[in-house]
Structure 1
C-alpha cells in the first residue's frame, strides 16, 4: 500500500476548533465604547434569536462595526461569550465598589443588605449577564482557573465591604466572609438553574438577607 497522500488508512483531518477566548482587551476609550456596543448587540440578538442562530457577522451588523473590527477582539462567538462573561464580572465588581464599599454614612446592616441586593437582584437590563441562558452555555467557555479567579475577585470585594463596616465592634474573619459568599452565590445560581419564579427568588433573597444580618449581628 502506498504511503503518504491517498493512504486509505489516514483519518481525515479534523477542522480547526474556533478560538474560544478573546484576542485582546480594549484599553482606549474609543475601543472600550466599541466593545461595549458589540456586547449590547450580542445580547440583543442572543435573547431575540437564540444561541444556535447567532453569528459574529450578525453581531457586527447590529452593532454598526466592521466585521474585521469585531474579529480584532473576538474570533468566534464563543470568544464573544467569554468576553461578555468577563465584562459582566467586572461590571458587578464596579457596582459593588461604587454602591456598597465607597458610600459613607451607611450602617453595617444597610451595607450588608445593599451587598446582597447588588449581587442577587440585578436591575432589568443586567439580568442577562448572569441569567439562565448564560449558565446553560457556561460549559462552552468555563475553565477551572477562570472560575477560581472570578471567585477570588468577588470574595476580595466582599471582604472590602465588611472592612468598610466601621460600626461593627468586631470584624468577621476573611474565611467567614468567603463562606457567606459561597452560600449566597450558590443559592443564587440554584435559583437560576431551577428557574424559580420571580416571587420565589424574591422570597429567597429576603430570607437570605435576614439570615446574614442575624449572623453578622452576632459579632457584637
Structure 2
C-alpha cells in the first residue's frame, strides 16, 4: 500500500486571505486564472499572465501563491468552500418550505445542475493529484458532509434523524457522480437532478 502524500510535499498557497482587500485580490486572481484557462488553455495560465490578466504586478500574486500549481490548489479549495457556503445559504433561504423542496435544491447545487458554481473542468480534475494530499481530500469531503448534515438538521418536518454514514454514502454517490460526469455525459441536467433527488429521498428516509 502506498504512503499517503502530505500537504507539505505538495505546492500550497502561502496564506489564506483574511482581510476584505486581500480576499478581493485573491478572488480577482482566481477570476483572471479562469479566464486564461478557458480562453487560451491551461498551459497559458502562467503566474505572469494571470497577474497581468487580473491587473496586478506578479509580485502581488507571489505574496499568496509560490507558483501556478499552488494557485490551482487554492482555487479548487475556493470552489469547495463556495459550494458549502451556497448549500447553507440556499437551505436557510428555503426555511419553512417542505423538506423535499430543500433536498431538491441541495442535490442540484451539489451536482451543479444549474451551472452557477465556480468554473471547474476535466483538466482541473485530472490535475488534482498534483495539488491535493489524501488527507486534504478527506478533509474536503468531511466539510461537505458536515454542511449537508447541518442543513438536514434544520428540516423541522423531516421524519427522523439521519445517520452520518447515510450522509457519507449519499455524498459519495452525488459528489462522485458529479466528478465522473466530467468524463462521460449521461442524461440532461434536469434528468440527473430529478433522478438524483429521488435516490437521495429514498436513502435519507427512515425504513418503515
Gaps of 5+ in 1: 1-17
Normalized against structure 1, the TM-score is what? 0.83
Q: Which has the higher contact order (CA 8 A, sep 6+)?
A: 2
CA shift for structure 1 position 160: 0.8
- The aligned residue for residue 163 of structure 1 is 153
- The aligned residue for residue 36 of structure 1 is 27
Structure 1 residue 78 and structure 2 residue 69: aligned?
Answer: yes
The residue correspondences of 1:162-181 to structure 2 (distance < 5 A) are 162-181=152-171
Q: Deviations over 1:26-49 (max 9, x none)?
A: 111111101100000000001111
Alignment partners' CA distance in 1, 2:152 and 2:117: 25
- The aligned residue for residue 196 of structure 2 is 208
Gaps of 5+ in 2: 1-8
SS in 2 for 1:135: helix
CA shift for structure 1 position 218: 4.7
43, 54, 72: which one pairs with 2:45? 54
Question: CA, structure 1 residues 148+217, in 2 after alignment: closer, same or farther (shift >3 Å)?
Answer: closer
Moved more, 209-218 or 19-28: 209-218
- The aligned residue for residue 4 of structure 1 is none
Question: CA, structure 1 residues 125+180, in 2 after alignment: closer, same or farther (shift >3 Å)?
Answer: closer
* Length, aligned pairs only: 200
CA shift for structure 1 position 142: 2.1
Question: CA, structure 1 residues 169+202, in 2 after alignment: closer, same or farther (shift >3 Å)?
Answer: closer
Alignment partners' CA distance in 1, 2:15 and 2:165: 34
Q: Are 2:17 and 2:26, in contact at CA under 8 Å, matched by a contact in 1?
A: yes
- The aligned residue for residue 107 of structure 2 is 116
Structure 1 residue 97 and structure 2 residue 104: aligned?
Answer: no
Considering only aligned residues, what root-mean-square deviation do their CA atoms show, in Å?
A: 2.0
Higher-Rg member (1/2) = 1
Normalized against structure 2, the TM-score is what? 0.88
SS in 2 for 1:52: helix
Question: CA, structure 1 residues 123+66, in 2 after alignment: closer, same or farther (shift >3 Å)?
Answer: farther
Q: Deviations over 1:172-194 (max 9, x none)?
A: 11211111111111122111222
